Structure formats: structure tokens, C-alpha cells
Structure 1
């Protein structure tokens, strides 16, 4: 249905003039501002929703160790395993004073070894529940499988020793404590110490040849939370001087100095969920087949796609016309979010072709990315909870295209590569959470 609004009601129209001018159709102040012109509000244009699953996300160089797993009532089980390479930040692999004329270093003795993981305040899930992790040695060089690509992805893997160096259970306290202290196997620690002490390891290459890296693996029996740790986490070798009056241990530290050699392998099991049959990344699952809902989950590659298949039909409204403004209101599905599963403040929006190949972010006339921003006014029935996405410029460009090729929009959560957040959205046919598209179309 069309609602006729006289152009004399200029609210909203002047705000859209920049969009029109950018399209090269009108200039602000032109004679289209006359009483003979009309703005038609269109609220019946079809907007199709679907869910897609990118087959891989870059998770190296994200500056966050993500470790844990949890069972999501909507998305299924998610698991994050973290791999990293270690080194001494100043290139010092000596024990004590190891100058050529000094044999005092021979008197140093091993005390213990520990992995100190430092919280970075990020977590998802129930942190009142115990999480258990295992620490293993990586058995191959920390480098991507593809020699032409320097990045690691959420589906990358490296072989590691099945024998655990430690099993550690804890209740995450990312906002109360600064770190957790994981005591490692002493046989491993003493062997490493002796190689340092005996000068069998004197540089980075020798160190990584012996200790290629470590991997943190969540225990499958605990599925409650995923926690973030920062890259200042350390492997610490504690030692002391034999028969010394000083009781205090000396520490040799190894850190994650190269962020490109740390990544998170994030996997999901969607069995039994509405999106268990997600197709390959170049295709999509229509919301008609998933309960009239679209899904987004960062970390795992799940994203929501919006298309406007009948947009070109607007050309038949009038001989001359153009979009002056448009807004898409996308509503989170009721009962899909809570304090345990909070809504993100915004959604990032990308432009993609029909094979889900992204060409860039959705930008405004000043080339600044446009976000779908959460509006969350308090009301009894949560009717005012929605993401507002301005679309005037995008729809106008699509209408002006001479070809039949259409672009779609892909919605993700900011920090899509380094967090485990999620949101469920309703399409235009969901009974009580309908997506709404309003277009203001100028005829002249």
C-alpha cells in the first residue's frame, strides 16, 4: 500500500537530499522542491533474509587467546582451541650469567615451570561454571598449510602431542583476577631448563626447533564458557642458585611475541538446530527454512544475508522518481537474548554479490561505514528493540544500475573474528518480530 505525503511536510526529505545529490540525480535547492512533487512511503517491498556460513575466518593476528567450549541452546556446541608460538622477547636464551669466563651458571637448578594466562576481560557464557583445559606441545612448525598465505583461519590445524603437559580446571574470573597460573609437567620443564643451561638452546631458531609451540584444548566434559586471554601471557621457567642464601626464584620468561603465530581454531556442531543444514559458503539457507529467522554467530562464520529481489519494480511507480530515504528495522527474536546472551550494540554491514563474495563495507556518501544500530527503548513487550539500518544510498545505487546483477547485504557482529557472540533476527514473515522496510520515494 502506498501512503501519499505532501512534500510540504519536509521532515525527513531534506535529510535525504544529500543521498539524492550523491546519486547524481538532483542537487539540493533544485526545482524539485515544488508542491507538484510527492514523496511516497513504501512499506511493502520484499526483503528476503537468509543465513550463510563462511567456510573460513582469519583468526591469527587478532591479539586474543580464546579457549573453552559451551552448549548454546540455539546454535549448538561451540569450541575454541588456541595455538601459539613462544619466544624470548629480548632474544636472551641464557640461564644466569653465561659469559665464557664464568662457570657459575652450572650451579643453577630447576624449580618449576608454569603457563601464566592473563585475562583480557572478554568472556562468553556462564563463568560460574568450571572450565577445564589441557596444555599440549605442538609437533610441527607454526606456519600455515598454504605457503602463499601467511594467515591462519578458524579451521586451521597443527599436529600436537596427545600427551598433556597439564590439565587445569578453574572458574573464570576475568573481571576479578588478572591471570591464571597453570603448573606444567616437571619432566618437560626440567628438560627445557637443562637445554637452556647447557647452551644447547641459544637463539630463537634453536628454541622453536625444540619447543615449536603450545596449544590449549578445552576438555569436552565441560561446556559452559569461552574466555579470552591476552598475548602478554607467558611461559615461565623458575630456577634458583644451588646452595645460595637467596631463597627467591629466578624467572626465564617466554611470550607470544609474534601475533601472526597465534590463532584460534573455532569449530561448531549445529546438529539438531534450525541451521544444521547450512550449505557451502557461496550459497545460503532461506529464513523460510529456518523458522523465519536469520542467524549470526561471530567466530564460527555464521552470518545473515538480506536481499531485495523486487527492488526494480519501483521503477514502475512513476515515470520519474528516486529513493530519498530508507530504513530497515531488523528485530531480534524474543527470548533469544538475555543477560547470558546479550545483544551486540550494533551489526556490521557488508555488500556482497550473489555468491556471498564481499566487496566492502556498506558506506555512506562520505565513505564512512554504516552500522545497524540497536535501539532499545524500554517497554513492556520489547516492541522497541530493533536494529535500524539506513539504506537510502544503497537502494538508490541499485535502482540506477543498468545491469540485472543485484547486490545483497551481509550482517555480522563487530569483532567477528575474535569474539563468540550471537544474535537471532526475525524476517518479514515472523509473527511477532517482523523485519520492517520503509522507503521514501520521490516522484517528480
Structure 2
């Protein structure tokens, strides 16, 4: 943010704090004659000390989100930011025609028009099978720090140039070996319900490439699609499909960052802060990874002890000030 905007924001915050502070009594005053005659004094000051710093939340809840974030980018201030997607697949039925013939399998990610940073560069994406079932923490939530083990052999890879505002979806063909296994289990009735499916296929991890330049937003209505044909159909090129949808209750993005070489390299938990004097005279906010600004006014409580009075009884003080 610019220094002028930072000063304006600081002034607004201080004004609110000063307007609501310095009182030992809980009083409600209506502006007008009663306010003028109330136990109020007005103080004008042209200098006040304000300290700002940047700190990091330990983790942020990302459960039941309307947008799944996927990608990575390098930033000169924040370092490298990366977002992966963990998802569980689900369907209401688990049957296929016994005569069905497998054709292909694809991951279909529906854009939601959100993107951040450079979409003109080539991006890469890998898909992995999870080795652990996706389960929330004890409080029922998923967090940006939540993670699950996965098979390091990907079931799909894609290199692409994103077009989040021109196309409605991103289509990634997955490995035929993975698709044939899933297809045969459904067609041959080895899997007949969600419990049997999740015992065999716990979920997927979508991971961006190390050199990506953009974070993309996708809808939780994305899916894995099995394409197949039926021998008795009149048109030889007719393809049917069977969708395994993302289970929105068990799908989330995990955002992380590598702050090596940045102002915030030392931020490990909420106990650590980076003063604005150590960060080029600025403090910062980066919502996805939990960086936030802390503003402190060390001498705020001392304003009530400034000599002078406005009316006979001044238990409540108000300060009027400007920041230059």
C-alpha cells in the first residue's frame, strides 16, 4: 500500500480508538446540547506515537469454501506463495453398464473467474492419489496447515496457459491405468457404495508446479469424469460419461509460503512480530497465509491525564488530532 493510504488508515483507526477510549464509565451521549453540557473535554494534539508491525496467525480455517485456490507465484515482498487442493470424490450411484467399454478419464476444474498475478505464462499441475482419508480436525474444520500423505507417483500431469475469464473449465486427462482401474471396479460391482469407494480411493491432491506464476480460483463443483462407450449404440463415436464430483464438505485448499530472504523470514507463530522499522517503514497484510497488521498506541491511556478541563467533571475524554 502507498504511504499516504497507510497514514490515512492509521488516522482512522486512531480516531476510532480515541473516540471510544479513555473512559472509566460506560456512558451514552447524544450529539447536541446534551453532549455539549456533558462531562466531556476536548483535547487537541498534533503528535502521538503509533507503532505498527506485521504478525502471522498460526493457521486459518478454510472449510466449506465457495472457492478452491490452486497455484503458486513469487513475490518480492512476501516470497513464494503456494496453494494446493485436497479433495474427496463422491457420487450418489456407483454402477456402470456391464457392457460399457472404457475410453478415458479426465479431471475437470471449473473456473470461477478469480486469478491473482500473471496468467500469460505456462503453468503446470500434477495430480496425486491420497494415502490417508480426508478427515477434519477435532473441531470439525480444515485449516491452511492441514495436510495428508499421498502417493508420490502422479496419476496425471498438465502443462497449460490459463484462461480463467475466457474458458469455463480446465480439462486434464489423467493416466489411463488409473482410469481403467476405477472403471473396472465400478463396472464389475467391486465398488457399490460410498464407503467401499472411499476405502479404495481416499481422495486426490492437486499440486502446482514450482515455477508457476498465478493463483487460480476453481469451483467446488469440479469433478473427475470417466468416459465410456456402449457396443449396442448406433453411433460408433458416441461417448457416455460417469462423474465423480468433488465432495465440497471434504475439499479445501492448503496455502503455504516460503518467506526466506524477506522481511518476514522470522515469523514462525503469533508470538513473533516484524516491526515496521524493520520492514521499510511499512506493515503488511496477506490474507491467504495469515499475515496481518498490528497497530499499537503506547501512550493512549495517558491521554486522560493531560492537564486542563472542558467542563466541571471530565470522566470521559475525547481527542481531536491530525496526522501530518
TM-score exceeds 0.5: yes
2:124 and 2:159 in contact (8 A); partners too:
yes
2:79 and 2:257 in contact (8 A); partners too:
yes
2:101 matches 1:92: no
- Residues 338-397 of structure 1 deviation map (CA, whole Å, 9 limit, x = unaligned): xxxxxxxxxxxxxxxxxxxxxxxxxxxxxxxxxxxxxxxxxxxxxxxxxxxxxxxxxxxx
Note the residue ranges of structure 2 that are not aligned, 5 or more in a row: 1-18
Secondary structure of 1:85's aligned partner: strand
2:221 matches 1:232: yes
Alignment of 1:213-292 (within 5 A): 213-220=203-210, 222-246=211-235, 247-257=237-247, 259-292=248-281
Instruction: Give the structure with the larger helix fraction.
Output: 2
Aligned to 1:162, which of 152, 155, 166? 152
2:47 matches 1:44: yes
Aligned to 1:140, which of 104, 109, 132? 132
- Residues 161-192 of structure 1 deviation map (CA, whole Å, 9 limit, x = unaligned): 11111111111111111001100001110111
Q: CA deviation at 1:62?
A: 1.4
The residue number in structure 1 matching 2:6 is none
Secondary structure of 1:152's aligned partner: coil
Aligned to 1:70, which of 62, 68, 73? 73
The residue number in structure 2 matching 1:373 is none
The residue number in structure 1 matching 2:117 is 125
2:225 and 2:241 in contact (8 A); partners too:
yes
Q: CA deviation at 1:245?
A: 1.7
Q: CA deviation at 1:285?
A: 2.0
Secondary structure of 1:190's aligned partner: helix
Instruction: Determine the C-alpha separation between the residues in 2 that align with 1:236 and 1:326.
Output: 63
Instruction: Determine the C-alpha separation between the residues in 2 that align with 1:129 and 1:43.
Output: 50
The residue number in structure 2 matching 1:149 is 139
Summarize the Cα distance change of 1:30–1:79 in structure 2 as closer, same or farther, 3 Å threshold: same
- Residues 262-319 of structure 1 deviation map (CA, whole Å, 9 limit, x = unaligned): 1111111111111212252134222222222111111111111011110011112235
Q: TM-score, normalised by structure 2?
A: 0.84
The residue number in structure 2 matching 1:296 is 285
Note the residue ranges of structure 1 that are not aligned, 5 or more in a row: 1-17, 96-104, 328-435, 439-444
Q: CA deviation at 1:78?
A: 0.7
Summarize the Cα distance change of 1:187–1:313 in structure 2 as closer, same or farther, 3 Å threshold: same
Instruction: Determine the C-alpha separation between the residues in 1 that align with 2:162 and 2:36.
Output: 61
Alignment of 1:276-425 (within 5 A): 276-317=265-306, 318-319=308-309, 320=314, 322-324=316-318
Instruction: Determine the C-alpha separation between the residues in 1 that align with 2:110 and 2:320.
Output: 46
Summarize the Cα distance change of 1:44–1:118 in structure 2 as closer, same or farther, 3 Å threshold: same
2:181 matches 1:181: no
2:126 and 2:154 in contact (8 A); partners too:
yes
- Residues 383-417 of structure 1 deviation map (CA, whole Å, 9 limit, x = unaligned): xxxxxxxxxxxxxxxxxxxxxxxxxxxxxxxxxxx
Instruction: Determine the C-alpha separation between the residues in 1 that align with 2:34 and 2:189.
Output: 84
Instruction: Determine the C-alpha separation between the residues in 1 that align with 2:175 and 2:74.
Output: 30
Instruction: Determine the C-alpha separation between the residues in 1 that align with 2:20 and 2:177.
Output: 68
CA RMSD of aligned residues (A): 2.5
2:42 and 2:319 in contact (8 A); partners too:
no
Q: TM-score, normalised by structure 1?
A: 0.62
Q: CA deviation at 1:325?
A: 6.8
Aligned to 1:57, which of 43, 48, 60? 60
Summarize the Cα distance change of 1:51–1:110 in structure 2 as closer, same or farther, 3 Å threshold: same
Q: CA deviation at 1:31?
A: 4.8
Q: CA deviation at 1:107?
A: 1.6
Moved over 6 A (4+): 18-22
